[in-house]
Amino acid sequence: MKLEIGDIRIDRIEESCDISNLPHEDFPDATPEALAPYLEWLKPAAIDPATGRIIMPVQTYLVRTRHHTILLDTCVGNHKHHPDMPLWNQRDNYRLLEDIAAAGVRPEDIDFVMCSHLHLDHAGWNTQLIDGRWVPTFPNAKYLFCQEELDFAQEEGRKGDSVYGESVQPVLEAGLGEVVAMDFALDDNIMLEPTPGHTPGHVATHLVSQGKRAVMSGDLIHSPFQLPHPEWSPVYDWDRAMGATTRRRFLESLADTDTLMMSQHFPAPSTGHVFSKGDGFGFRYLGCDMVHG
């Protein structure tokens, strides 16, 4: 799916779309009773009608400005060790790189890699396993990291998580990492917004060109059922209260504006506009008649 924001071209490229957990397994507030009023619109795109499970795409946004070619988040990747996550463990599937190539971009063409945060499904293709060694997948890119997120990922690594060791450290050791502030601006087109809660160093990435605006929201919101209930934080938020506060503030800032929200895990087409609805929000997807909330 191709989008344009002023003279910025954006390709939304899915790595996978899996049927994941039951909502209340990840979102304790999303009990079957609490979710019942919303199933009519959550099915079939966001909740699988057959199993009641969350439908969970994993994707990257390939961004081309007049000056730079940028990847926003790098999905799960291949051969990564995630024994607790069978769907994402030891993958061997080059679809993402093939689809980036089909959009006319080779790995060596990427100028910047920007991860909203350093979880397994957002930093995986930072590296790939070549001859038994993890090497940066995008050899000419600068990988921009926030120190808060590096510290958190390293700490998670000490507890046994594989992301830092497999997808971050090899980039730093290759000299391709660059630490930036959580409100860093790359130029007049691309700027970060601190959105902590899911992780300490989580950022949203704003794209601005010719008066048009979009923002990639990373994992500050996962599912459309958080639109009516921004306070429903998932168990995998580092600070669930902070996550809820950030989520509501972010949705309020977008609601009823022309800014396009590019989500990570909403069902395809994943992008659209936020509107106010009662105490919460709704989402009008781009290029189709699907509305959630």
**Interface positions with Zn ion (CB under 5 A):** 121, 219
Residue 116 · residue 205 · CB < 8 Å: yes
Smallest gap from Cβ 212 to Zn ion, in A, equals: 26
* Cα within 13 Å of Cα(147), Cβ side: 3
What tokens does 231 get?
């306070």
Closer by beta carbon to Zn ion, 23 or else 209: 23
Give the closest residue to 188 by CA, choosing from 1, 5, 23.
Answer: 5
Smallest gap from Cβ 247 to Zn ion, in A, equals: 14
Smallest gap from Cβ 273 to Zn ion, in A, equals: 22
Closer by beta carbon to Zn ion, 161 or else 209: 161
Closer by beta carbon to Zn ion, 248 or else 265: 265
Smallest gap from Cβ 17 to Zn ion, in A, equals: 13
Smallest gap from Cβ 219 to Zn ion, in A, equals: 4
Q: Residue 270 burial by CB count (10 A; 0-12/13-18/19+): exposed, middle or buried? A: buried
Smallest gap from Cβ 121 to Zn ion, in A, equals: 4
User: Residue 167: helix, strand or coil by DSSP?
Assistant: helix
CA distances from 37 to 34, 47, 218 (A): 7, 13, 26
Smallest gap from Cβ 215 to Zn ion, in A, equals: 16
Closer by beta carbon to Zn ion, 234 or else 272: 234
Strand partners, 127: 136
Residue 247 · residue 197 · CB < 8 Å: yes
Q: Residue 14 burial by CB count (10 A; 0-12/13-18/19+): exposed, middle or buried? A: middle
Give the closest residue to 140 by CA, choosing from 116, 164, 105.
Answer: 105
What tokens does 214 get?
């979009």
CA distance 184 to 207: 13
Smallest gap from Cβ 19 to Zn ion, in A, equals: 15
Give the closest residue to 48 by CA, choosing from 17, 27, 86, 26.
Answer: 17
Residue 44 · residue 244 · CB < 8 Å: no
